[in-house]
Structure 1
Amino acid sequence: MAAKRAKTASIAALAACVSLVAGGCTVANSGRGGYDPGTLRIVISQEPPTLEPCESSLTSTGIVVRSNITEPLIERDPSSGDLTPLLSTAWRQDSPNRWTFDLRDGVTFSNGAPFTAEDAKFAIDRAVNSDLQCNVDGYVFGDEKLGLETPDDRTLVVTTAKPDPILPLRISFVEIVPRTTSTTEKVREPIGTGPYAIDNWEYGQKLVLTRNDRYWGEAPSFAKAEYQWRSEGSVRAAMITNDEADIATGLGPEDGAGDLGVPFDNNETTALRIQATEPPLDDMRVRQAINYSINRTGIVKALFRGLGEPASQLIPTGVVGYNPDLQPFPHDTDKAKQLIAEAKADGVPVDKEIRLIGRTAQFPKIAETIEVMQSELAEIGLNVKIEMMDTAAQLQYQLRPFPENTGPYLVMIMHGNQAGDAAFSLDQYIRSTGPQNAYGTPAFDRKIDAAEALTGQARQDALAKLFAEEPEEIMQLAYLAHMQGILGKSERVGYTPNSATGDEMRLSEMTVIQPPGVTTPPNPS
């Protein structure tokens, strides 16, 4: 009988809504505009290829998983650069090669399993020492293998083969997973200790996270977070202005978010990586010509609407190792043509087709940027063909092992400098064995080793010197710009984007700003 009354009441409510459709009727308790006010609606530029935590250094994965679903032992404050406790409450260097981490008590994973030192040991071993080829391994640790010990449930000891003065910073990149996680294959939907857990992932449609009621910290404001993805920035902006989304990432100034678009300094640097092992790109003069051909100032001004700064190096100001004395390559078409002519006269096959690879929705105006670069390269006498790819396809050319028999290619990269120290950038892109490196030398690798062993001002000076020397000795990158971003944000959400927002958007920092007449379900006590 109760079910019948409920059904009758629903039919009556629907009939009333139909009769008042012009007035915008919504179902009772459905929230403002017909949506649940306890759900944070987020639209991003692309579906995450995976939520595997050891791939969280990839922007498209990290923006969802890092510190939301899983957590590291330590977090880096994006504003101050300081390391702050998370799953580890304190850490200390016992000797040049040995660090001890004290672990937080009373933490459980979202599946109810307790977090212990064995889980921390397992997660680090899985991400760094295994054969899974985790991105965080190559990006953060390179070839380094770590020794791991657990004297008790609340203590983790990490040893390194050689002194590592920034080991805690490196450890902050490893997301902790339970020791029941697979070690033979990567997982798309992980278990973590974060404030949210995966509720439902309809591949190709949407991803829903739900508040983790077992979370050890303060409960986040929103009970759920729903991610959708739209490749066009104007569509994402329209979803904000039409109240179809609360947060929209990766917007450009022309996308139309208006007052709901919040500009912020992110930590991304864009560049063309030159596959310098393939002719004609293996000739230094050709690589120099590519650098001279790019009108960085024009691209930043016309396409980015001034939201950026022409780049002279892989890292921006504020990162240890930034060299303030470097200037971007000047735009000199005549000089570029001269270099190409000289190379051609010496038998370099400058007419050979070069692939110019971009990633769809990589940043606002990516397609137009690639087209401008193709035109500039064609003007100096190079034969360049554009290929736009989705994330999965483009990553094959960005990350080792690279496909075989590709021919010469240029690939647009966007490097997030969220670590705050140039060692990560150098090890990833400049060291000859780096996972995103296409060319290097043992001699330059030794310079990197020497610089990374230093601390303090000596470290800053040595790292800065490397960025001055790399274009002279190697030059496998044509830097474009240090980027700025625009985040679309609903008026009902309290959140200030920071330099890490593009890589790691912490949902727990987002609060509900109540519109008049609407109540949101309270946080659990």
Structure 2
Amino acid sequence: MLITILLGASMLGANMLSAPAMAQTLRIALASEPTAVDPHYHDLTPNNALAMHIFDGLVLQDEKQALRPGLAASWENDGKNRWTFKLRQGVTFTNGKPFTAEDVVFTFCRTLKNETKVSGSFADITGNFASVETPDAHTLVINTTEPEPLLPTLLSGLPILTASIVEHGPISYDVAKNCGVTGPWPAVNNFNDGTAAIGTGPYKLKSYVRGSAIELERNPTYWGPAEPWASVRFVPVTNAGPRLAGLLAGDYDVIENPAARDLARIKGDKRFGHVITPSTRVIYFQLDVGRDQSPFVKAEDGKNPLKDARVRKAMSLAIDRDAIVKRIMDGAAEPAYQYLPTGMSGTLANPPKLAYDPAAAKKLLAEAGYPNGFQLTLSSTNDRYINDSQITQAVAQYLTQIGIKTEVDAMTRAIYFPRRAKKEFSVALGGWGSGTGEAASFLRQWPPTPNEAKTLGGSNYGGYKNDEFDKVIRAAVTTLDDTKRAELLQQAMTLVLADGAFIPLHFESGIWAFKSELAVAGRADQFMLAMSVKPAK
């Protein structure tokens, strides 16, 4: 197999062809605040969206998640384990340093030397690299330990840093020898204070104040088309009501995720527009099925009921997904019966509908030995996903109705995600958008037994283990043939769904509202990007 992606002629001389830049500030109200400027701190949508402004990847994704050249002008695979990337020339970082292959190698090394990261963020990609070679300053050759058919897609989510932010000798992909870095590796605070926040993206960081605002300035040396906004101001406003009020009052130019019930008000006002874009983000619950005692489960027999597949199925049967979509999500979502929308590669063509049947749920609980139910706490964010705490409260009520006495512990994402990574919860709310456009994205990250290289199962916080699934998913992610890989992913999907350790609820839609003099391109990955906002023609 040979795959080659070439830089389109339309990208050449982009700065010369760009329209005259406008001078105003673009003001955006965010539904969920990034937890850091460090692009490798946490693989989280708000963080990744912010990073795209300041940094570039070797490969970029458009609003429909189609790949396009980034810092790599082209790439090809030899049909096995070898990928060659030709890097874009003439690119400089905002500190004036030229971009070269050395910076990419340094970036790869940093993902494996990042002591302040949350969980295994991005190390699951580079952990599969057997070697990285730099024949010249603008050529990069990656040899993977196992075949990686989706490497360009995976690298589209990995922001590239400059090696100039550390003391170093010759940089090489020799992790055992610290890759040539002689000083300390940058920590999250070095990015948050701006010291290490040096990229090649369309904007550069002016200031980052947690809980207040993030301010960006246009990068005058950006290699692509100049952005129309001289500056961008992101303000975190986690409640939908104040976000809408700020838009109506003129405090914000764009807001993300207004409540769907408020769309009628926006539609009726010529001063504003809106866009709704279906996403690949599945909202689900991850269950602790690996421990005999779980911290937030209490049963009369002293065991962990979540280890019983009948209990897990009963919990799924207790949930009315249609009601959640209609009443809580106001119709701006779709019930989920698998972990990626039907029709995408590796999904089931006709997944079994996850029915709402509380009577059957009670019967299963009794069969499992819990006719009187048990006590359970659902853990969730209250400021990350659309209506996350309301969704969790609704599920708690459904579970209580079948005899599982359920409480909710909702908290800010800054507290929630580190605790979840430490496996402190019994049933944890999650949201996952596919960055690859196929079922492998979820299936390689959450259900697998973690492998030694940590390229699989990096988010298996619930201790799920299925040997047959592990065998199938390991085969799937190393299969270069698209048709065969899709068939293997369908097998893997079927196995995980049958076990019920991950209970899917629905797929979110991204919603943006904005002033009518603007045009906003909604993104399938739900990224809120200033680059997606242009003056209306």
TM-score bracket, shorter-length normalisation: 0.7 to 0.9
1:64 partnered with 2:81: no
Work out which of the residue numbers 415, 423, 429 in structure 2 matches 1:402. 423
Please state how far the C-alpha of 1:314 moved relative to its aligned partner: 1.1
The alignment of Structure 1 onto Structure 2 pairs a total of residues equal to 466
CA deviation after TM superposition for structure 1 residue 463, in Å: 0.6
Residues 50-84 of structure 1: CA deviation (Å, up to 9, x unaligned): 12112463012112222x111100113342x5321
Of the structure 1 ranges 475-484 and 366-375, higher mean CA displacement relative to structure 2 is found in: 366-375
Question: What's the RMSD between the two structures over aligned residues?
Answer: 2.3
Report the equivalent of 1:478.
503
Q: TM-score, length-normalised on structure 2?
A: 0.82
**Amino acid paired to 1:392:** A
User: Compared with structure 1, are the counterparts of its residues 316 and 397 closer, same or farther at alpha carbon in structure 2 (3 Å cutoff)?
Assistant: farther
- The structure-2 alpha-carbon separation of the partners of 1:513 and 1:261, relative to structure 1 and needing over 3 Å to count, comes to closer
Equivalence for 1:230: 237
Query: Relative to 1, partners in 2 of residues 1:345 and 1:370: Cα closer, same or farther, differing over 3 Å?
Result: closer
The match for 2:448 among 431, 447, 467 is 431
What is the aligned partner in structure 2 of residue 178 from structure 1? 162
* Paired position in structure 2 for 1:411: 428
- Give 1:382 deviation, angstroms: 0.9
The share of aligned pairs that are identical, in percent, is: 27
1:324 Cα deviation after fit: 1.8
Measure the CA separation in 1 of the matches of 2:370 and 2:154: 48
Residue 47 of structure 1, CA deviation: 2.5
Partner in structure 2 of residue 258 of structure 1: 266
Per-residue CA deviation, residues 426-466 of structure 1 (Å, 9 max, x unaligned), is 12111122222121234321110112222221111211221
Q: Answer yes or no: is the 8 Å Cα contact 2:30–2:256 preserved in 1.
A: yes
Secondary structure at the counterpart of residue 261 of structure 2: coil
Deviates more, 1:157-166 or 1:54-63: 54-63
For 1:132 and 1:205, the matched residues in 2 are separated by 23
Mapped to 1, the partners of 2:130 and 2:518 lie a distance apart of 41
Distance 2:128 2:339 in 1: 23
Question: Is 1:94 equivalent to 2:107 in the alignment?
Answer: no
Residue from 439, 456, 469 that aligns with 1:422: 439
Partner of 2:17: none
Other-structure match for 1:247? 254
Distance 1:133 1:202, change over 3 A: closer
- Cα gap change, 1:169/1:46 in structure 2, threshold over 3 Å: closer, same or farther? closer
Post-superposition CA distance 1:368-416 (Å, at most 9, x none): 22221111101111121111110111102433x323xx5xx21111111
Between stretches 304-313 and 505-514, larger displacement belongs to 505-514
Counterpart selection for 2:201 from 194, 205, 212: 194
* Aligned: 1:77 with 2:39: no
Could you report, residue by residue, the CA deviation over 1:223-268 in whole angstroms, capped at 9, with x for unpaired residues? 0000101111111112112211111112221245612332221221
Please state how far the C-alpha of 1:100 moved relative to its aligned partner.
0.8
List per-residue Cα deviations over 1:308-336 (Å, max 9, x = no partner).
11101111235321212103311010111
Instruction: Tell me how far apart the structure 1 counterparts of residues 59 and 376 of structure 2 sit (CA, whole Å).
Output: 43
Query: Structure 1 residues 138, 448: closer, same or farther in 2, change over 3 A?
Result: farther
Instruction: Indicate yes or no: 2:320 matched with 1:299.
Output: no
Quickly say closer, same or farther: Cα 1:304–1:139, change in 2 above 3 A.
farther
Structure 1 residues without counterparts, runs of 5 or longer? 1-35, 515-525
**Does structure 1 residue 274 correspond to structure 2 residue 276?**
no
SS in 2 for 1:266: strand
1:36-55 map, 5 Å = 38-55=24-41
- Alignment counterpart, residue 392 of structure 1, candidates 397, 414, 431: 414
Q: 1:146 to 1:214 in 2, by over 3 A?
A: farther
Aligned partner of 2:101 in structure 1 is 117
Distance 2:472 2:117 in 1: 26
Secondary structure at the aligned position of 1:281 is classed as: helix
Superposed structure 1 runs of 4+ greater than 6 Å apart: none
Q: Secondary structure at the match of 1:251?
A: coil
Q: CA offsets, 1:181-230, max 9 Å, x none?
A: 46353333421100000011233211100001111111100000001011
Distance 2:281 2:142 in 1: 30
Give the distance between the partners of 1:487 and 1:82, measured in 2 at CA.
Answer: 21
Letter in 2 for 1:265: P
Q: 2:311 aligns with which of 265, 272, 286?
A: 286
Counterpart amino acid of residue 444 in structure 1: F
User: In structure 1, what is the equivalent of residue 488 of structure 2?
Assistant: 462
Structure 2 unmatched ranges of 5 or more: 1-21, 167-184, 268-272, 295-303, 451-456
Q: Is the CA contact (8 Å cut-off) linking 1:360 and 1:366 kept in structure 2? A: yes
* Bigger CA radius of gyration: 1
Amino acid at match of 1:258: I
CA distance, structure 2, for counterparts of residue 425 and residue 146 of structure 1: 24
* Paired letter, 1:418: G
Residues of 2 paired with 1:318 and 1:172: CA distance?
23
Three-state SS of the structure 1 residue aligned to 2:257 is: strand
User: Which residue of 2 is the match for residue 512 of structure 1?
Assistant: 535
Q: Within 1, Cα distance between the matches of 2:435 and 2:146?
A: 24
Equivalent position to 1:163, from 147, 159, 168: 147
Q: Is the 8 A contact 2:238 2:383 kept in 1?
A: yes
Larger mean CA deviation between 205-214 and 433-442 belongs to: 433-442
Write the distance in 1 (CA, Å) between the matches of 2:139 and 2:475: 31
How far the C-alpha of 1:37 sits from its partner, in A, is 6.5
CA distance in 2, matches of 1:420, 1:490: 31
Q: Are the counterparts in 2 of residues 300 and 481 from structure 1 also a CA contact under 8 Å?
A: yes
**Aligned counterpart, 1:366:** 388
